Amino acid sequence: MKTLNKYHLMIIMILLGNISFGQVSRDSISKVEKKVNKQWFETIAIRGYMQVRYNRLFETNEQLKCEQCDKSWGENGGAFIRRMRVIISGNVHERVYIYIQPDFASSASSTGLHFAQLRDAYFDLALDAKKTFRLRIGQSKVPFGFENLQSSQNRLALDRNDALNSSVSNERDLGMFFYWAPDKKRQLFAKLVNEGLKGSGDYGVIGFGLYNGQTANKPEANNEMHAVARISYPHQFKNGQIIEGSLQAYKGKYVLPADLRSTGVKAVKSFSFNDQRVAASFILFPQPFGIQAEYNIGEGPEYNPSKDSIETQKLEGGYITLSYMLKIKKQILIPFVRAQYYDGGKKHELDARSYTVNEMEYGIEWQPFKNFELVAMYTFSERRFEDKKSKSNTQKGSLLRLQAQLNF
């Protein structure tokens, strides 16, 4: 950018209405010059959060586990750092926004914890000055499901529901997505997060894209990309109440990787399976009463115990969460209850493990101040999870789960 002299700066300051001719000083000129000539790295923000859990209180069955949810469930589980995220984000240009998020609490193996792994690494390219049209390129969340897009930092329940989260492990993949939303809707998306109403963030009113389909941090395994499309419309009524409804779908071919196949398990030679779903979402944001409900149907790889083989099978399931937000002076209490059901496979687990899940959870979130949250959640669960090594495996039980969260 061409260097501005002090006369240019004086004109800018006067037009901005900050000073009059008689108030111009060397200090005020220096301040404006610094603002005008700000370097891109001065616009970058760093924030993050950490979640520490303990799941063994009043546990009735140590064989009741949930690999997708939390690997510290059940036998030999203990205190566990579920997430340790640092987020680096900001505008490096008026039309280019970057977002990088590593997690320092990833598990490299069953005996190795707290390894760094990339979660997000993308940039948004705005196609117009108001940023109503955007291209998102890199590894980011796949726009399928409200709770999948909702940050774990904002979610009430400790884990995402099995039904929709089984679609995309870690909710992310590598690809390119297009998002469109008018300015007023983008402001509303931001409000739902900034005011603590448990929003999902801005993934557009309309979104669609192409991605590898093997889930985050996995190489592509065929010559076919997954395609996804989503329509989500938030609306604020005159009384201030806000609702959001969404429809979304994706389709592709998923290849079960070699490290997720038991020796001798049967399947098609290519281990390639149809992978497609459609889902509907309805959200009534908690002001003070809230409802969050989603359901999906589709098909994907699933282990068939009767044939000892992995096959493309039908799947379905969803959840509903009811909540009530209480504001006591500067503190926030949110009691909630969630019911969920899922019948289908989980493609990112051993042999595309077959599941039937019926679960009820009762919890409360306490926010004494914005930098700290404590969640207590009592879970009543019945889970059938079968693969070649574990057949006729149904576990029932209950447990009290605790999570302390630091926001910074």
Q: What is the DSSP string of 75-138?
A: TT--SEEEEEEEEEEEEEETTEEEEEEEEEEE-SSSS---EEEEEEEEEEEESSTT--EEEEEE
Residue 108 has pLDDT above 80, yes or no: no
Residues ≥6 apart with Cβ < 8 Å to 272: 222, 253, 254, 255
**pLDDT score, position 19:** 42
At 109, the pLDDT band (50, 70, 90 cuts) reads confident
Residue 348's φ and ψ, nearest 5 degrees, are -95, 10
Closest to 132 in 3D by CA, of 230, 202, 208, 201 = 202
Mean pLDDT of 107-111: 77
pLDDT digits (tens, 9 = 90+) for 233-253: 999 999 999 999 999 999 999
**pLDDT score, position 10:** 52
Mean pLDDT of 105-130: 92
Residue 291's φ and ψ, nearest 5 degrees, are -130, 135
At 20, the pLDDT band (50, 70, 90 cuts) reads very low
Query: Domains in the chain and their CATH numbers?
Result: 1-37 (no CATH), 38-407 (2.40.160.10)
At 16, the pLDDT band (50, 70, 90 cuts) reads very low
Question: Three-state SS for 260?
Answer: helix
Give pTM, 2 decimals. 0.90
